[in-house]
Chain A
Amino acid sequence: MCSVSDDLDCLSLTSSGSGTDKSLFHATCKKCRSEPAKVVVQLKEAFCKNCLLLYVNHRFRACLGKSKLIKPKEKILVAVSGSLASATLVDLIHCGLQDTTPKRLMFSPIIVFIDDGAALGLSNEQRLKIFQEMRIMLKNCGLSTFYVPLESVINFEHNDLKEIQSETTLSINECSVSKVRKIFEDLKSVTSKEDLLIKLRNNLLIQSALTLNCSKILTAETGTDLAVKLMSNIVIGRGAHLPLDVGFCDTRCTSVLLLRPLQDVSKKAVAFYVLMKGLKTVFIPAFSSIERKNCSLQKLTENFLVGLHCEFPSTMSTIFRTGEKLSLNPLSPNFGTSSCELCQGPLDIYATESSAYLATQISSAVSKYGKAAINSDGIHVMNHSSERAKNRILSSSCKNEANGTFFNPVCYGCQLILAESNNQIHLLQNSLRKHHNQILRDKMKEEIADFLIE
């Protein structure tokens, strides 16, 4: 019915040098063959306005339909950030729910906007401005919309979720704001800041979903975003979680699944969708907005890939389609039974011998303690397979131990974040542990469900 391989059909490895292709000038739409084309979405595929809108809608519906994960009347959380992609997602859902739409969407969506102004260090006035712009943007969609500030992650309570339309001003909890600000200021690199922000945002989304009794979360990550995320996650040491981070469905938390229904749409198609429908968007700066051009590994990867994509228009789809084939093997000896306390992903630190992880551990131990490390406890213990012994090494690698507070084992990617933080990150510990335990309980409940008497 719907093929997603069309992108790859035009796989060409020759440089097209965008724009030099004269055959597209004043072309007619490739699909309806009558209207003048307005946008080149794929290589040599030019669409008119109506065909582009249909194309984006079709890709979205096909992606959701194919997964067969969403049941009628299910409550679904829709994560909105104000970006081009989230404006598109809200509009697609809004149109899909109309009675006049054939094959109407049957689920009931709830929109949640996470205000991460505290982490970005925005002033209260800037945050209020963004909040009001968001209110206007989401006013016409007619869906129930909630707002939750990122600082709630410190101590999430049910009443932190507020109806956006009934609030006129922001109630800012200065204490939490300064804590969040400290946590982020404490991190040295923009790379870790961006990474931590994504993890905290995901935690908050899952908590909001649990509070609002939603069993799924939809995010507006496009194929372009995911291709960039795939490469940058490898770069920042999160390769073990790729299938969760860039796949269609993130199953980290068994009771709330995170789905990415815009994964088959490119960022360009989304931008033109917004433009042609005249949708409102809200621009919220990111960490990289105020820094220099290649300030973080994520941004550097993005600039590199987008640049490459200009020369070789199949870059993004090739990366994404390759990433799509990755899957997680839960039985692999590299994964433990427990999950990371910070990102909830499976722990990738139970390395088998002669693995890359062990190599970095040995290398860092040797550079820290010199020759003595070879025979010291560190390496010795590492060769034992007992989980406790490994935890000991891990906890000693977390700087927070000095403070008497350290996280339970965290995955390799999160260790890198912790290693950069001096002490402030322990402010997160209690809430994350609570959240972590809840997810573990849910998982256990599911496992023993068959043995329970109702």
Chain B
Amino acid sequence: MASCTSSIPSGEREVSECSSATGGAGKELKVNIEFMGGAEMMFDNQKKLNVTLPPAECKWTIRSLLAYMKVHCAKGGGLERFFTGDSVTPGILCVINDQDWELLDTLNYELEPNDNIIFISTLHGG
């Protein structure tokens, strides 16, 4: 739990730096997030999330999306079940537009508007 709480501020900083650099320029980015296999537990049992990301100068990537989700979407305890470092916990698959993220540069994938991102937990008990 300790590692989890200490990593939240760093995530916040990353997001705020990113958005403050632009000073409001750029466009908002809408993405659809879905959870399967128990990953939804960490997100208030919501299977689908429509997230509008604030404008940012540097392009939104999966890495910065995860940092954003950690601060804004995750609810309740057990964050360390989903997030590990700046990525997801091993055993949680990330699927971007029906394609394995390993084919798309994983964390460095640059988000496009209306991307569908699915997180599937293959771990026992979510």
Contact = CB atoms under 8 A, between A and B. Distances in A.
A38 B99 contact: yes
Contacts, number: 102
Given A275-B120, A293-B81, A27 B103 contact: yes
A91 to B, nearest CB: 15
Interface in B67-126: 78, 80-81, 89-91, 93, 95, 98-107, 118, 120, 122-126
A65 interface: no
A361 B124 CA distance: 33
A288 B105 contact: no
How big is chain A's contact interface, by range? 35 or more
Nearest to A24: B103
A25 B36 CA distance: 25
Contact of A84 (B41, B80, B122): B122
B108 to A, nearest CB: 8
Nearest to A292: B1
Most buried by A among B98, B100, B124: B124
Contacts of B118: 275
Given A271-B93, A288-B125, A309-B90, A283 B102 contact: no
B19 to A, nearest CB: 26
A333 interface: no
Nearest to B102: A40
Nearest to B47: A283
Interface stretch (A298-306, A396-404, A437-445): A298-306
A287 B101 contact: no
Interface of A: 18-19, 21-22, 24-27, 37-40, 46, 49, 83-84, 224-225, 228, 267-268, 270-272, 274-276, 281, 283, 285-289, 292-293, 298-299, 302-303, 306-307, 309-310
The 6 closest A-B pairs by CB, nearest first: A286-B125, A19-B106, A306-B91, A289-B125, A267-B122, A39-B100
